[in-house]
Amino acid sequence: MKQLTKRQFKRYCDIVYNESGIKLNEDKWQLLNARIGKRIRKLGVQADKYLSIIEKDHDELNLFLDAISTNHTYFFRESKSFEFLDTSCRNIWCAASSSGEEPYSLATYCLELGFEPSILATDISDSCLDKGRRAIYPKKCLSNIPKHMIRRYFQKGTGKWEDHVRVKQNIRRIVKFEKFNLLKDSPPSKIFDIIFCRNVMIYFDIPTKEAVIRKLFKVLKQDGYFIIGGAESLSGLNHSLKYIEPSIYRKI
């Protein structure tokens, strides 16, 4: 496809921001151009026509948001923050679960501590949620997991799947995957003992970050931990959480 014009780029960025809260700057011009190119070629349309399609067709809008979402994760990523999990953390929310590595990591960590949690894993991306439900991953994704835990919680693939593993059923049943838009959707009605919202707010501007924090704060229990990514900070934002250490906050 041809390079997006400045006008087209701005319109696409406005849609992304209004629908997901993700703020795309001009340094993402090439990324956006590449990510939507596949959909445009498949439909056989031009960039302007595709704009009109995603403005009217909710299913195609979801496919567009799927295409531009950044989904990079792996098992036991930034696992130091897992140290704040204990037996009081029965209800856990992974509010940006991507393809499932984080919630499954949390599930196995809790089981190693001797208790079984209930984990809600949410994401805006349908394709990521599908991957999480399938729970099949390349073996190379397990590099941060101790070998005894791999044997205990993962099944080795055979045949065409020999380079993959699948999370065992007793772990999969602990994690419930649901679609959730941090910007637009109302939070669940239950209260959570700890909320992980990691490596997603880095893509939001200040008003969106504050709105998301207020939303999640409402369903976090008193004294519950709110955990963000290692590259993120709530410094300079208007919120009611107490800073504990980098990436760790608490509802006091």
Is 123 an annotated catalytic residue? yes
Given 11, 14, 27, 35, the catalytic residue: 35
Is 193 an annotated catalytic residue? no
From the CB of residue 63, how many other CB atoms can be counted at a distance below 10 Å?
Answer: 16
Given 123, 172, 193, 198, the catalytic residue: 123
Cβ-based neighbours of 192, under 8 Å, separated by 6 or more:
91, 92, 93, 120, 219, 220, 221, 224
Cβ-based neighbours of 89, under 8 Å, separated by 6 or more:
110, 117, 193, 194
Contact (Cβ atoms closer than 8 angstroms) between residue 70 and residue 203: yes
Report the C-alpha gap between 131 and 177 in whole angstroms: 10
Which residue in 60, 6, 11 sits closest to 38, CA to CA?
A: 60
Contact (Cβ atoms closer than 8 angstroms) between residue 77 and residue 106: no
Report the C-alpha gap between 117 and 107 in whole angstroms: 7
Q: Which residues are catalytic?
A: 35, 123
